[in-house]
């Protein structure tokens, strides 16, 4: 059942009944006093029409027919180190996907209501966009050069324990058997904050990720993957990028409150050591792979980048810090019927890029610990606290939430929302 698309006017109001998935009984759904900014016990919902017009989707051109990964290779439970979890397999490639849930940034040290909430939401698939656990590895001995793999494994005991804690959580166990999960990594489950290609823990983290989710088809240089479901006219492709394994370091400012700034554009005549053109967000192999995936036929593509793509102002991690790669990516997905999803920021938001072809992005972060007003700044309202970003549409969402995408194949539209609900 596709729920009705709502108008932007409803966004700032508490609107539980209309936005709650039909047939589900959420607490406080009729409570007139709920308010999302001040009381997370009350249900609120922020909905924005993505207005993704799928009429353009038929422009997709098949250039190469690439071998499709086998859906059965996901969650085979063949060699799991986490026998507590029995993941439900991803849908068969012939199945039509109507409802997608997505989220990020879930600390195993905090309450985990969203595994239950998303289970009740009954998505066809759940996309986990990184920071699926928080398990930063411990510092390595200073003389650990070249890197000693045994020392790295030992240093990453906290990351393994983080996965162990999640695996033993009853809500995670319950969800694992009911919701097909398709996941990628961000920095804290890659073992170190703001991880890039020089992350010494990346291969150990990749192995733990593989074991936790029982994945058999990872590339050797990261965790990027794609799947396609549905017949012609209802074909959904989901592409999960890896923006960490091969990423160049961002240009640092020295100010921890505003840590990064863009590398110089290639047109710059100074700062030769930071030319954007020489920096990489994705490896050459991942770029080639991505181009091949985008040449496959799809009626709607969902592309997950753990870090934000369209954000044009933030000093925190995002694609804008490597301008040449951001431009390459946006040009590549233009006219590809692609919706971008991202996490990482611990705030949610909707982004638009209207530059010939509209590209839209939904940032959903986090499940367990968004940044409330006043957490780091002396401010108390969206106008004072939120980034002044012309690419963003609406205020940041600062309550814990997950994202939902409802696809109406018949009418060629999709509706996205950031949902905040209580389950007790
Ligand atoms: Fe995070």
Written as one string, the DSSP assignment of 245-283 is TTPPPPEE-S-TTS-EEPPBPTT-SS-GGGBGGG--SS-
Q: 61 C-alpha to center of ligand 1: Å? A: 36
Q: 251 C-alpha to center of ligand 1: Å? A: 20
**Paired tokens of 248:** 């160049």
Q: 293 C-alpha to center of ligand 1: Å? A: 27
Q: 263 C-alpha to center of ligand 1: Å? A: 23
Residues 249, 261 contacting (CB under 8 angstroms): no
Report residue 277's pLDDT band, with 50, 70 and 90 as the boundaries: confident
Q: 343 C-alpha to center of ligand 1: Å? A: 7
- Rounded to whole angstroms, how far apart are CA atoms 21 and 121? 7
The dihedral formed by the CA atoms of 117, 72, 223 and 61, expressed in degrees to the nearest 10: -100
Q: 98 C-alpha to center of ligand 1: Å? A: 27
Mean pLDDT of the region 272-293: 89
Q: 412 C-alpha to center of ligand 1: Å? A: 33
Give Cα 118 distance to the centre of its chain.
Answer: 15
Q: 364 C-alpha to center of ligand 1: Å? A: 11
- Rounded to whole angstroms, how far apart are CA atoms 21 and 25? 9
Residue 65: C-alpha distances to residues 62, 124, 296, 303, 336 (Å): 7, 25, 6, 19, 16
Q: 193 C-alpha to center of ligand 1: Å? A: 9
Q: 404 C-alpha to center of ligand 1: Å? A: 19
Q: 269 C-alpha to center of ligand 1: Å? A: 36
Looking at 30-156, list the stretches that DSSP marks H as alpha helix, in order from N- to C-terminal side. Answer: 113-121, 149-155
Mean pLDDT of the region 174-202: 97
Query: Domain spans of the chain?
Result: 53-420
Report residue 373's pLDDT band, with 50, 70 and 90 as the boundaries: confident
Q: 185 C-alpha to center of ligand 1: Å? A: 10
Rg of the chain, C-alpha, whole Å? 21
Q: 104 C-alpha to center of ligand 1: Å? A: 7
- Rounded to whole angstroms, how far apart are CA atoms 60 and 301? 10
Q: 131 C-alpha to center of ligand 1: Å? A: 5
| 3-state class (DSSP) for residue 238 | strand
Q: 368 C-alpha to center of ligand 1: Å? A: 9
DSSP assigned state of 10: G
What percentage of the chain exceeds 90 in pLDDT?
66
Q: 376 C-alpha to center of ligand 1: Å? A: 15
Say whether the peptide bond before residue 93 is cis (omega within 30 degrees of 0): no
Q: 349 C-alpha to center of ligand 1: Å? A: 15
pLDDT score recorded for residue 152: 94
Q: 31 C-alpha to center of ligand 1: Å? A: 31
Q: 132 C-alpha to center of ligand 1: Å? A: 8
Q: 307 C-alpha to center of ligand 1: Å? A: 10
Report residue 274's pLDDT band, with 50, 70 and 90 as the boundaries: low
- Write the CB contacts of 190 (distance below 8 Å, at least 6 apart in sequence): 199, 201, 202, 205, 206, 244, 245
Q: How many residues does the chain have?
A: 424
What residues pair up with 151 in beta bridges, in sequence order?
none
Give me the CATH topology for the region 53-420.
Answer: Purple Acid Phosphatase; chain A, domain 2 (3.60.21)
Q: 139 C-alpha to center of ligand 1: Å? A: 20
Q: Indicate whether 188 pLDDT > 70.
A: yes
pLDDT score recorded for residue 264: 80
Which range scores top for mean pLDDT: 43-47, 272-276, 289-293?
A: 289-293
pLDDT score recorded for residue 195: 96
Asked whether the whole model's pTM tops 0.75, one would answer yes
The dihedral formed by the CA atoms of 169, 174, 175 and 177, expressed in degrees to the nearest 10: 120
């Amino acid at each position: 059942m596709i729920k009705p698309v709502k108008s932007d006017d409803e966004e700032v109001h508490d609107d539980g009944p209309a936005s709650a998935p039909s047939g589900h009984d959420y607490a406080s759904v009729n409570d007139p006093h709920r308010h999302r900014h001040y009381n997370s016990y009350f249900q609120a919902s922020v909905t924005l029409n993505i207005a993704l017009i799928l009429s353009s989707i038929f422009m997709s051109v098949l250039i190469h027919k690439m071998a499709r990964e086998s859906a059965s290779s996901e969650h085979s439970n063949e060699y799991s180190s986490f026998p507590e979890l029995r993941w439900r397999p991803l849908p068969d490639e012939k199945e039509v996907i109507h409802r997608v849930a997505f989220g990020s940034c879930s600390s195993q040290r905090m309450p985990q209501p969203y595994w239950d909430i998303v289970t009740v939401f009954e998505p066809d698939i759940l996309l986990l966009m990184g920071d699926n656990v928080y398990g930063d590895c411990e510092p390595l001995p200073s003389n650990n050069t070249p890197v000693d793999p045994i020392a790295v494994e030992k240093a990453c005991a906290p990351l393994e324990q983080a996965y162990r804690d999640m695996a033993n959580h009853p809500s995670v166990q319950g969800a694992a058997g009911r919701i097909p999960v398709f996941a990628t990594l961000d920095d804290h489950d890659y073992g170190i904050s703001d991880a890039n290609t020089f992350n010494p823990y990346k291969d150990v983290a990749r192995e733990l990720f593989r074991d936790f989710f029982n994945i058999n088809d990872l590339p050797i240089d990261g965790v990027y993957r794609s799947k396609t479901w549905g017949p012609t006219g209802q074909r959904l492709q989901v592409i999960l990028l890896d923006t960490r394994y091969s990423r160049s370091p961002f240009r640092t400012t020295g100010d921890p409150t505003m840590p990064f700034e863009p590398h110089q554009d290639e047109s710059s005549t100074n700062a030769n050591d930071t030319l954007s053109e020489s920096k990489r967000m994705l490896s050459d192999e991942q770029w080639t792979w991505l181009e091949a995936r985008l040449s496959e036929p799809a009626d709607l593509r969902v592309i997950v980048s753990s870090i934000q793509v369209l954000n044009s102002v933030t000093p925190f991690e995002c694609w804008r810090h490597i301008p040449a790669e951001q431009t390459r990516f946006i040009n590549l997905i233009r006219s590809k019927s692609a919706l971008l999803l991202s996490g990482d920021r611990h705030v949610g938001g909707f982004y638009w890029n209207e530059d010939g072809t509209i590209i839209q992005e939904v940032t959903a972060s986090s499940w367990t610990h968004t940044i409330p007003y006043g957490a780091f700044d002396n401010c108390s309202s969206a106008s004072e606290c939120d980034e002044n970003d012309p690419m963003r549409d609406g205020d940041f969402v600062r309550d814990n939430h997950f994202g939902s995408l409802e696809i109406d194949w018949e009418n060629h539209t999709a509706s996205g929302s950031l949902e905040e609900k209580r389950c007790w």
